Amino acid sequence: MTNFAETKNLFHLPEGVIYLDGNSLGPMPISAMNRAENVIKNEWSEMLIKAWNKADWMTLPRRVGDKLATLIGAPEGSVATGDTLSIKVFQAVSAALKLNPSRKVVLSDSGNFPTDLYMVSGLISHLGPDYELRIVAPDEVENAIDETISVVMLTEVDYRTGRRHDMMKITEKTHQMGAISVWDLAHSAGALPVEMEKSNAEFAVGCTYKYINGGPGSPAFIYVRPDVADKIEPILSGWLGHEAPFAFDLDYRPHKGSERMRVGTPPIIQLSLLDEALKVWEGVDMQDVRARSIQLCEQFIQGIEKACPEFQLLSPRDANSRGSQVSFAFEHSYPAMQAMIDKNVIGDFRAPDAMRFGFTPLYIDQEDVAKAIEIIANIIKTKTYLEPKYQVRSIVT
């Protein structure tokens, strides 16, 4: 059994804050501070360039990739790290299109995170006018997978509503129709059990600063199914995805396996913090995390619906169809969220009207949820959100 009281002690949270936004930016694991200090003070400053070998910087991306692989049910060596999730989406979809060249349509849904759609639009505009990005409503995806589709690119858990796709079923249909599967695990990895190997999907991508707590801008990851990896001709053919980067050959030969999805020099400081954050997961059972996350979400939904009848639940009511977050719509969503943040209950707002709350059992418990409900109920009852200071929009919502 995972000891959540113990994992909670591994994180730093500011005094009094109930943090329900780990689905957007995870909090700092306490040991990240020492690790950052060590990388800067002992490795970078003292070893200088020798640290690539002496401090094992060069193998860090792969070692971190293997830890991430464990978290998403993938075999060793199948996950490469680096860059941002937007870049990894581009790499996965471009590689997938090349593996299925007789078809030209990428299918996605209107609940997807915009950057995923933007990256594919950019990619296909470069490939030529016969390519198409087809966007359907989330519940129409399964029917829309037909023999014209080259690649099905979906985010398992909707960032706005928490709605969860049935990854096994959709991947199966994708393969039946001769298409290739790309899954975005941004709101899945570290949030719920993911079985990449079992799903048989060819590609998955994800970020590490949300549920994995790697810190702002920590590197993204890409999974490639081992039997597919060696067939990929990377579009972003950077030197660190080369078979022998330090041979400095003029021609590009991809590295074996998923390492070919690496591009350039890894961000060592950020990657070290991610490595540290991944240590928190040792001894954590993802089934326990899921069970606890469902419990917390249910507690929150019940409490809020009772206390704030003005709110409408935007998330699926059925826990199985939901990720690890709960969203509500409300006429005054934006100022209400600002008032909550002001009272130390931190969630966030997503246009047009969603208040999002993420539930992360590693550091959020039932007592936190009960307290959050009480504070929110009070804000709504007293209508504090009508104060002018809560109406002001910031750049980041």
Ligand X SMILES: *Cc1c(COP(=O)(O)O)cnc(C)c1O
**Residue 249 structure tokens:** 């050959």
Identity of the residue, 116 or 202, whose beta carbon is nearer to ligand X in the bound complex: 116
Based on the shown chain and the rule CB under 6 A, indicate whether residue 115 belongs to the binding site for ligand X: yes
Distance CA 9, CA 29 (A): 9
What's the rounded Cα separation, in Å, for the pair 156 and 191? 11
The pair phi, psi for residue 153, each rounded to 5°, is -115, 115
Q: How far is CA 287 from CA 2, 9, 193, 320, 332, in A?
A: 9, 20, 6, 13, 36
> How many other C-beta atoms lie within 10 A of the C-beta of residue 117?
18
What is the DSSP-derived secondary structure letter of residue 47? I
Applying CB under 6 A, does 295 fall inside the site for ligand X? no
**CB nearer to ligand X: pick between 123 and 380:** 123
Should residue 84 be labelled a site residue for ligand X when binding is judged by CB under 6 A? yes
Closest CA to 373 of 342, 340, 350: 340
**Cα 260 from chain centroid (whole Å):** 21
Active-site annotation holds for 184: yes
Pick one of 25, 80, 85, 296: the residue that binds ligand X (CB under 6 A): 85
Residues touching ligand X: how many (CB under 6 A)? 13
Q: Is 186 in the site for ligand X (CB under 6 A)?
A: yes
* 184 lies in the binding site for ligand X (CB under 6 A): yes
User: Which listed residue (62, 66, 113, 365) is catalytic?
Assistant: 113
The single residue among 38, 70, 86, 384 that binds ligand X, judged by CB under 6 A, is: 86
Between CA 284 and CA 294 the distance in angstroms is: 16
The only residue of 19, 57, 131, 159 in contact with ligand X, by rule CB under 6 A: 159
The residue (of 234 and 358) whose beta carbon lies closer to ligand X is 358
- Confirm whether 164 is a catalytic residue: no
Give whichever of 192 and 380 is closer to ligand X, judged by the CB atom.
192
- Closest distance between ligand X and the C-beta of residue 85, in Å? 4
Hey, what are 234's tokens? Answer: 């990377």
In the complex with ligand X, the residue whose CB is nearer, 299 or 321, is: 321
Under the binding rule (CB under 6 A), the answer on residue 187 touching ligand X is: yes
Q: Is 31 in the site for ligand X (CB under 6 A)?
A: no
Tell me which of 19, 225, 356, 385 is the catalytic residue.
356
**Tokens of residue 314, six digits:** 């935007």
The alpha carbon of 98 is separated from its chain's Cα centroid by a whole number of angstroms, namely 25
Q: Between residues 104 and 165, which has the closer beta carbon with respect to ligand X?
A: 165
Q: Quick check: 116 binds ligand X (CB under 6 A)?
A: yes
- Taking each helix axis as running N to C, give the angle between helix 333-342 and helix 366-382, from 0 to 180 degrees, rounded to the nearest 10: 120
Stretch that binds ligand X, among 59-67, 79-87, 161-169, 329-337 (CB under 6 A): 79-87
CA 322 to CA 269: how far, in whole Å? 34
Site string for ligand X, 201-240 (x = CB under 6 A): ------x------------x--------------------
Q: Interface residues for ligand X in 378-397 (CB under 6 A)?
A: none
SS3 118: helix
Among this protein's residues, is 251 annotated catalytic? no
- Catalytic, 359? Answer no
Residue 356 is a catalytic residue: yes
With vertex at residue 126, the alpha carbon angle to CA 123 and CA 132, rounded to the nearest 5 degrees, is 65
Q: How far is CA 354 from CA 41, 296, 347, in A?
A: 43, 19, 10
Q: Is 93 in the site for ligand X (CB under 6 A)?
A: no
β-partners of residue 224 are 203
Catalytic residues: 113, 184, 209-210, 356
Interface contacts to ligand X, rule CB under 6 A: 84-86, 113, 115-116, 155, 159, 184, 186-187, 207, 220
